Structure 1
Amino acid sequence: VFSDETGGVKTVSVIKGNPVFLITSVTEIQKGDLIEWLFGPQNITIAKTDGKNNSIHNENDVRFKNRLNLDNQTGDLIIKNSNIEHSGHYQLKIINNNTYTIQKSFSVTVHPGLSPAVPDPGQSSGAVAGIVVAVLLVFAAVGGLIYHKSSKPKRSREENGQNHTSNKDEETELTKPVET
């Protein structure tokens, strides 16, 4: 499910068969509120609730038959098992005691399958390849640095004529007891 809001119209994209969630952003319907959902350019009422009574309209319309769920606490509308014919313009009206009306618009697109119109939530393959190359370069640099640091003392000893044998004077000086 992809959702975006552009110019006051919330865009919702889903794949066929998935539910469409049209959210009112109401936490609880207040006494005297009426929530009404309209569909299409003709603004056909498809669902209403006052918080107590839900009514689903157009049940005879095969597009919505047995597919609409209306939350009587929030007024959210869920279209189950979406189909391409559920694509279109949805209008939400929240009327409070006949004193004011809040309207929200939703543009729903139901895709038949994976579509370029539905953004991929992951990284593109080019971005993933770039990240992998960068990580490998970092590991190579760290490995080279470790190799360089570990081979430097060995080269220094060989250049000074010292091998793995220890200097006897240094050993005896370190093991002498300290006089006080």
Structure 2
Amino acid sequence: MPMWTVFLFFICVHDAQTDEMISVSVMEGDSITLNSGVTEILRYDRILWFFGPSETRIADINDQVITRYDQSARFKDKLQLDSQTGSLTIKNITTTNSGLYKLTVLSQRGVSHKTFTVTVSAPVSTPVLQTIPQVSHYPASLPIPVITSDSSQCSLSSSVSRCSLVCSVLNVSDVTLSWYKGISLLSSISVSDLSISLSLPLEVEYQDNNTYSCVINNPIRNQTTHLDNISQLCHTCEGKVWFTRQDN
């Protein structure tokens, strides 16, 4: 071997560049290119690609001749080397191709190394929305509230006739019974897990023109009875109050 050749190789080895670590993430089925950073491969340059912690050689360029060692199932027909730059392309990549890739470049300019950490992720499946039937312990329907008048509770105070109304429901549980004046809540009563009958009284003026309603509800259903004309229910009170005035 000529003396100048040995001397040149000695200089190249001691002019080696520090390793460069690069992380790359890719989805399964895609292709990636690991860039060598070389702009042009000269005739006597050598490009070496290794895979894994054991640094198994998978491809190289020597004297401008490309060789691929891709007959294993892991890399079969997947590797491609750029003849101008030495960059490595992995086609149709899979999760088995995840790992460390090491590049060594030997040239008259020196020796350089690059290490690529390649992470291949499997595609995320499309979420499937499903409706889970909700089992409810509440009854399928609620009874309609019944509004009646209690003539025994009719009263006359300061010449104002008053009538007592009663809203009732039978055999209910886990409900609330309420009186409303328009949209304003006047009173309410609740029952939990017992099956009972509920009654809720309300005293109104006989000449009252407001709209009243009685509502029974649980967290998922409700039933409403409206009272638009108080005189329809309070006419018995009117007669009782008239006779009371006559007696006085």
Return the TM-score normalized by structure 1.
0.56
Specify the code of the residue in structure 2 equivalent to 1:101. Answer: V
> Match for residue 101 of structure 1?
111
Q: Secondary structure at the match of 2:102?
A: strand
- Asked if 1:69 is matched to 2:80, the reply is yes
Consecutive unaligned residues of structure 1, counting only runs of 5 or more, are 1-6, 116-180
- Asked if 1:111 is matched to 2:121, the reply is yes
Q: Number of aligned pairs?
A: 107
Specify the code of the residue in structure 2 equivalent to 1:102. Answer: S
Cα contact 2:71–2:77 (8 A) shared by 1: no
C-alpha separation between the residues in 2 aligned to 1:79 and 1:95?
Answer: 22
Q: Secondary structure at the match of 1:31?
A: coil
Moved over 4 A (4+): none
Task: State which drifts further: 9-18 or 24-33.
Answer: 24-33
> Match for residue 173 of structure 1?
none
Q: Write the mapping of 1:154-169 to structure 2, written as runs, cut at 5 A.
A: none
Specify the code of the residue in structure 2 equivalent to 1:75. Answer: G
The C-alpha deviation readout for 1:53-93, integer Å capped at 9, x for no partner, is 10001x22101000000111100100000000100000000
Specify the code of the residue in structure 1 equivalent to 2:80. Answer: N
- More relative contact order in 1 or in 2 (CA 8 Å, sep 6+)? 1
Q: Which has the higher strand share?
A: 2
C-alpha separation between the residues in 2 aligned to 1:92 and 1:72?
Answer: 15
Return the TM-score normalized by structure 2.
0.41
Rg larger for:
2
**Identity over the aligned pairs, expressed in percent?**
37
Aligned counterpart in structure 2 of residue 35 of structure 1, from 47, 61, 66: 47
> Match for residue 78 of structure 1?
89
